[in-house]
Amino acid sequence: MTISGNGTIGESLAQATKLLLAENGFTSPRLDCEVLLGHVLHCSRIDLVLNREKRLSNEEQNTFAAMVKRRLNHEPVSYITQSKEFMSLDFFVEQGVLIPRPETEMLVEFIIKTYETADNVSILDLCTGSGAIAVSLAYYLKNARLTAVDKFDVCINAALKNAARYALSERISVIQTDILNGLHADQKHHCIVSNPPYIKNADLSSLPIDVKNFEPEYALNGGGDGLEFYRIITAFAAENLFSNGKLVFEIGFDQGGAVKKIIEENSAFHSITITKDFAGLDRMVTAVKGNEAYGKKLCPSGIKTAKHY
C-alpha cells in the first residue's frame, strides 16, 4: 500500500495510518501521521480535522509520503520534524540529541516552584542535550541565569539554537566540556540539575528500536550499573552548590534507592527525597546542600571531588 497522489487530508492520513498499523512496534500510528502531516502543512492537528476534505498538492503529498517512509523505518517523529514540545515550548532536535521526554518536566516544574520568588538565581544544567531544561527554566524564571553543559558539538549547537529561539542567549551560558573527565567551576550555584545518561550497559540492547537505533548512545549509557554520572555530579555538587542549594536528578524507574545512597554517602547533603511520576515510578531525586557547619559536622575529613572518581 502507498499514499496516493492528490488525496485529501483525510484520505492521506487514513492511508498512512494503515501503513504503520501493518507494521509492528508503533504505539500511536494515527498520532504520528497527524504530527507529520501537520508539520508538512504548518497547521495544528485540529486544523487537519476541520480541513479533512482539502486536497494536498503533489509537493505536499510527496513530502508527507517521504516522512511516513522514514517513520516506517522507526525513525522517531521528532527527528523527522526536527521538533519536540517540552514545557509548552517548541524545541529543535536532530539525530545526535536526546529527545526531551514529558517525564523530565517534573524536574523543571519543581525548580520553578522552588525559585519563583527568589532573586538572582544561578542554575547549572549538566548533560543539557537540546537545552530543554535550561531553556525552559530561563523562559519561566525571569530571575534566573542558567549555565548549560554538554560534551558533544551537536548538543551544544542545539542548545544554542533553542536559547536563541526564545531570545534567552543573554541569560544562558552554553559550555562544552566532558563531565566524565572531571568538572571544574569558578562559581557556585543555587541549583544543579541533571538528566544524565542512566541506562545500564547490559540494558541498551533491549531498548525500543526507535531509541536504540536512532537516539545517541552517549545520552543513554550510564556505565555498568547506570550510575556513573550520579557519582561524579554528586561529588561536584557538594563543592559547587551554595549552602541550602538544591541538587535535582532525573533517574531511571528502579534507581531511586541507589541514587539516594550515593548522595547519602557524600555526607554534604540532607533532606534527600525520591519523587515518583504519574505512573507511580521513581523519577526524581532531590537533595539539599548542608550549610558549612552541617558539612563539617558530618564530613570532618572534607568532601570528595569529582577527580577522585
* Dist CA 134 CA 148 (whole Å): 6
Q: Which three cell numbers stand for residue 122?
A: 544561578
Binding residues for S-adenosyl-L-methionine: 150, 195
Question: b/e map of 261-288 (b: 16 or more CB within 10 Å)?
Answer: ebbeebbbbbebebeebeeeebbbbbbb
**DSSP-assigned beta bridge partners for residue 179:** none
Amino acid found at 9? I
Q: Name every residue whose Cβ is closer than 8 Å to that of residue 224 and which is 6 or more positions away in sequence.
A: 200, 201, 202
Binding residues: 150, 195-198
Binding residues for substrate: 195-198
